[in-house]
Chain A
């Protein structure tokens, strides 16, 4: 999707450090040289076009609760079905098909480890597929947002 220069600037500047003050969108608008109302409208538009998922916070997994990366090897012809079932489990927030014997990869979160394991046990029983459970041991670089290469996209 092609974005205009102002949308690009909005993304370039505010993937992190959103202002925390009474009128944050006004503060952002001053940096971009547009009106507060336009910032709000552009954010709404970016969300409706599914370019921006949300304006908000990314919590640190290890502090925010329990989370892990899991994978199953689903029969090729049942992938959509298995993926849909995984999405119905509580706390699944990423779920991707990947090119590998383990072809469905998902991130699942819960308030604590016990609940997380319970949810996975239930899912494993229901799917009748063995599951890789891969908790994070150490993060070296975790979702800080990254600079978009607009040229490569154009």
Chain B
């Protein structure tokens, strides 16, 4: 049986003899467990160790390693903003000239009220937009005011864009790549 994804995600430090001894299947199980969340017990990494066949130290080493490798980009509380009152969530999409999209993407990413920013392909003729940014706000007026300031600040008055407020979340949870639904 082969692993369902490249082994270097499991043992990124495989050149190092100490980590190459860590069970690849144990690490896969650890990833499945982490996608579900950290146990709320005094020694959560020990609980994960017992579920994965790794030692507590191996669990902690793997999590630390995955964070420094960037496989885990964030390790902490995953907040549901809608419950807190961030009910106005707008996906703003822009049609930016290809040669400018990267610079503008980076500039937008630095704006405090923009929580996500990424480039995606156009799908013409239905979808002309190639830059996406997300604004999470407490109400619609505030989000639109923030958008206005963004347009002024970056001289985007002539750029075709669209604002897609979300009015309902049918599902909101973390990505599960290796565990089952």
Could you tell me which A residues sit within 8 Å of B by CB distance? 1, 3, 10-11, 14-18, 20-26, 36, 40, 43-44, 46-47, 49-61, 63-65, 67, 69, 83-84, 86-87, 90-100, 102, 104-107, 109-112, 132-149, 152-153
Residues of B64-101 at the interface with A, using a CB-CB cut-off of 8 Å, are 64, 66, 69-81, 83-86, 89, 91
- Minimum CB–CB distance from B116 to chain A (whole Å) comes to 6
B42–A36 CB distance below 8 A: yes
Q: Say what secondary structure dominates the interface of chain A.
A: mixed
B79–A53 CB distance below 8 A: yes
A142–B123 CB distance below 8 A: no
A60–B72 CB distance below 8 A: yes
B4 proximal to A (CB < 8 A): yes
Could you tell me which B residues sit within 8 Å of A by CB distance? 4-5, 9, 31, 34-38, 40-46, 56, 60, 63-64, 66, 69-81, 83-86, 89, 91, 102, 105-106, 108-110, 112, 114-121, 123, 126-127, 130, 132, 136-138, 142, 162, 164-178, 181
B71–A59 CB distance below 8 A: yes
* Chain B residues whose CB sits within 8 angstroms of the CB of A148 once the complex forms: 79, 81, 84
6 nearest A-B pairs in the assembled complex, by CB-CB distance: A141-B109, A54-B37, A65-B177, A140-B109, A140-B105, A95-B170
Residue on B with the closest CB to A46?
A: B77
Given contacts A51-B79, A83-B170, A144-B74, 7 further A-B contacts (CB under 8 A): A17-B76, A52-B78, A54-B37, A60-B70, A93-B175, A96-B166, A98-B166
The residue from A55, A98, A152 contacting B164, defined by CB atoms under 8 A apart: A98
* Chain B residues whose CB sits within 8 angstroms of the CB of A26 once the complex forms: 42
CA distance A87 to B173 in the complex (A): 11
- Minimum CB–CB distance from B140 to chain A (whole Å) comes to 10
Say yes or no: A143-B74 contact (C-beta < 8 A), given A65-B5, A87-B170, A135-B120.
Answer: yes
The residue from B37, B78, B171, B174 contacting A87, defined by CB atoms under 8 A apart: B171
* Chain B residues whose CB sits within 8 angstroms of the CB of A106 once the complex forms: 170-171
A99–B167 CB distance below 8 A: yes
A22–B177 CB distance below 8 A: no
B105–A109 CB distance below 8 A: no
* Chain A residues whose CB sits within 8 angstroms of the CB of B127 once the complex forms: 102, 132, 134
* Chain B residues whose CB sits within 8 angstroms of the CB of A139 once the complex forms: 117-119
- Minimum CB–CB distance from B49 to chain A (whole Å) comes to 11
CA distance A85 to B136 in the complex (A): 27
B170–A56 CB distance below 8 A: no
Name 8 A/B residue pairs within 8 A (Cβ), A-sorted. A52-B80, A55-B40, A57-B34, A57-B63, A93-B173, A105-B164, A139-B117, A148-B79
